[in-house]
């Protein structure tokens, strides 16, 4: 080994192999923490964006009520039905073929007495194919059995709350299921009733969302049963929160109304009502004397009515708007349109 040159500065001592590097400064640790925090925020944003992209751009909904005949009905005809009666197999075939994301049951699923055998033999093999996407409202037929027990046994967790009114979200839309069996539901349907108060609170909590409400007995109808004034306070509450549409069954026809206030006057802030009681059990055209309500109440004009075909209502729910089609049992679109919410 040669000596260093005269006058040269002595070499720095070599770092021993066993010594650790000096720890990073406090400033260095702060920078690392900030970078990690930014990366975590970016990862969370990307995850949320990915989740949103998986939501459908639109929701396909099928809705109808008044469906399956009793297996002992003379018109049942081994499940084939007749021209006007017991067409639950054909109408449910139509509904299944539309591949909905959600099926809204508008009540009266199994006639005439909703027995377990009826659900097993008739409703189950037909409409039951949509059971897992069904969100059902209670009709009057269901209450022919104590506390609607056969309905609840069949639908299980999909039956909703025992009181018969509840809500849920699907995509950007809010859905409200109400109980129009106003002599059965605790407190009725009037102003200040538990159901009306719950409805007002629920809609206030979902302000700004497009909303569909549905129940069994139509507020407005030109069928045999006519308008049901018991739901006036519920309608007024829906109107106050700019609900887009109300769906009902009960009448054996299809009828679409314009936007109305609770008394049936045209009002663009009111909901649009669809009556869809054409799920297979029967359809019929009211004859003279069939609708005694006309002697007491003034009919409300509808935009479209069809007494002559079975079929389903198909809704395409978008962000801020919706389309509707009434599709007949033959696959023909008989009524259609669009509206904002």
- Residue-level pLDDT at 52: 43
pTM over 0.75: yes
From the list 298, 243, 251, the residue with the least C-alpha distance to 267 is 243
| pLDDT of 289 | 80
pLDDT at 134: 98
Tally of CB atoms within 10 A around 187: 14
The confidence score (pLDDT) of residue 54 equals 53
The pLDDT value recorded for residue 340 is 96
Angle at 287 between CA 113 and CA 274, to 5 degrees: 65
Q: State what percent of residues in the chain have pLDDT above 70.
A: 84
Q: Note the pLDDT of residue 10.
A: 41
- At 287 the pLDDT is 82
- Comparing C-alpha atoms, which of 267, 168, 179, 287 is closest to residue 228? 179
Q: What angle do helix axes 232-240 and 194-205 make, rounded to 10 degrees?
A: 10
The reported pLDDT for the residue numbered 124 is: 98
pLDDT the model gives residue 27:
57
CA separation for the pair 138, 109 (Å, rounded): 9
pLDDT in tens, 148-193: 999 999 999 999 999 999 999 999 999 999 999 999 999 999 999 9
Task: Return averaged pLDDT per consecutive 10 residues of the chain, 341 residues in all.
Answer: 40 41 53 52 46 67 98 94 96 98 98 97 98 98 97 97 97 97 97 98 97 98 95 98 98 98 96 98 87 91 97 97 97 98 93
Amino acid 33: pLDDT: 53
**Running DSSP on this structure, what letter comes out for residue 300?**
P
Are the C-beta atoms of residues 4 and 10 closer than 8 Å to each other?
yes
- Determine the pLDDT at residue 273: 98
Residue 81 gets the label, from left (phi > 0), alpha (psi -120 to 50) or beta, of: left
Token code pair at residue 194: 């538990």
pLDDT at 9: 41
Residue given tokens 């009960």 in the structure block:
250
Q: Are strands 245-248 and 272-276 parallel, antiparallel or unpaired?
A: parallel
Report H helices in 176-311: 194-205, 232-240
């Amino acid at each position: 080994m040669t000596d260093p040159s005269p006058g040269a500065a002595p070499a720095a001592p070599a770092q021993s192999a066993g010594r650790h590097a000096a720890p990073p400064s406090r400033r260095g640790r702060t920078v690392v923490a900030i970078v990690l925090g930014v990366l975590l925020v970016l990862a969370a944003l990307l995850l949320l964006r990915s989740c949103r992209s998986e939501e459908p751009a639109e929701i396909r909904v099928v809705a109808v009520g008044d469906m399956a005949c009793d297996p002992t009905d003379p018109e049942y005809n081994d499940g084939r039905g007749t021209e006007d009666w017991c067409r639950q197999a054909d109408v449910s075939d139509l509904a299944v073929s539309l591949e909905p994301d959600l099926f809204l049951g508008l009540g009266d699923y199994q006639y005439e007495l909703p027995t377990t055998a009826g659900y097993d033999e008739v409703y189950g093999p037909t409409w039951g194919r949509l059971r897992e996407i069904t969100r059902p409202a209670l009709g009057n037929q269901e209450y022919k059995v104590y506390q609607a027990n056969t309905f609840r046994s069949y639908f299980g967790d999909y039956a909703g709350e025992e009181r018969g009114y509840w809500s849920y979200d699907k995509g950007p839309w809010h859905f409200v299921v109400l109980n129009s069996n106003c002599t059965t539901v605790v407190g009725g349907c009037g102003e200040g009733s538990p159901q009306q108060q719950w409805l007002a609170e629920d809609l206030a909590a979902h302000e700004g969302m497009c909303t569909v409400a549905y129940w069994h007995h139509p507020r407005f109808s030109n069928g045999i049963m006519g308008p049901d004034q018991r739901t006036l306070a519920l309608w007024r509450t829906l109107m106050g929160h700019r609900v887009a549409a109300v769906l009902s069954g009960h009448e054996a026809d299809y009828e679409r109304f314009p936007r109305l206030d609770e008394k049936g006057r045209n009002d663009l802030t009111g909901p649009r009502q669809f009556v869809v009681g054409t799920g297979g059990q029967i359809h019929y055209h009211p004859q003279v004397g069939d609708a005694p309500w006309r002697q007491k109440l003034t009919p409300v004009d509808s935009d479209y009515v069809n007494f002559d075909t079975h079929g389903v209502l198909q809704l395409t729910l978008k962000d801020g708007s919706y389309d509707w089609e009434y599709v007949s049992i033959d696959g023909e679109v008989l009524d259609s349109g669009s509206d904002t919410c």
